[in-house]
Amino acid sequence: MLTDLFTPSVLQALDIAGIFVFAISGALLAVRKNFDVFGIAVLATATATGGGLIRDLIIGAVPPAAFTDLGYLVTPLLATVLVVFLHPQVERINRAVAVFDAAGLGLFCVVGTTKAYEYGLGLPFAAVLGVVTAAGGGVVRDVLANEVPSLLRWDREIYAVPAIVGASLAALLIHFEALNPVSSALSALAAFLLRLCAIRFGWRAPRAWHRRSAAAEEA
């Protein structure tokens, strides 16, 4: 189904673009954490490929794409080099990186859902793996950096919700046999725009109703 929607070269180009942007975000966090160059490379690679790797292992697409395509290895390393030598400049375009990260989120949640369905998963579970593909790398990044994953923090703009929306739309389109290049692009666009709105307007997920907690709130 993926090859029906996109040619292999286009699909690979989209994948590599998303991997590069996610690798930048991982490398920037590593710099803020004062990691050495090896640590920066590890965090960049884990962020870029973590979600897809988890998905491929679950659906049995082995060896995972991250271990069969040299581009999946080289791209995070290029991002590492860029951040190591130019991280002050990269930090200054952090807003632009956030925009590309949102684009990667939209792309990966749709592609992840479609690929999981191709490998025999039911649509609800395919959508779950679409979300894992989009957000899993960020969770791996935060765990390795000894931080509470941004996905779970109330004081961060919603991240999983846009991925859930995009993956759910893709699953519905598959169900109604309406998934095509235009509709899949619109699903990715919906997730992308929702994430941008969350960043712009500071949208956050609600916390427990009438929450009574003595725990200190993190800034």
| pLDDT for 74 | 94
- Supply 183's token pair: 């509709």
* Alpha-carbon distances of 192 from 158, 159, 177, 189, rounded to whole Å: 12, 10, 23, 5
ω into residue 76 within 30 of 0, thus cis? no
H helices present in 60-93, as ranges: 70-92
Token pair 């290895």 in the structure block, residue? 73
Count Cβ atoms within 10 A of the Cβ of residue 3 and give its class: 0-12 exposed, 13-18 middle, 19 or more buried.
Answer: exposed
| pLDDT for 55 | 93
Task: Check the CA dihedral 32-103-75-15 and report its sign.
Answer: positive
Give the chain's residues under pLDDT 70. 1-8, 10, 91, 210, 212-219
C-alpha to C-alpha distance for 137 and 140, rounded to whole angstroms: 5
CA atoms within 13 A on the CB side of 127: 19
| Closest listed residue to residue 24, CA positions, set 103, 118, 112, 125 | 103
pTM for this structure? 0.86
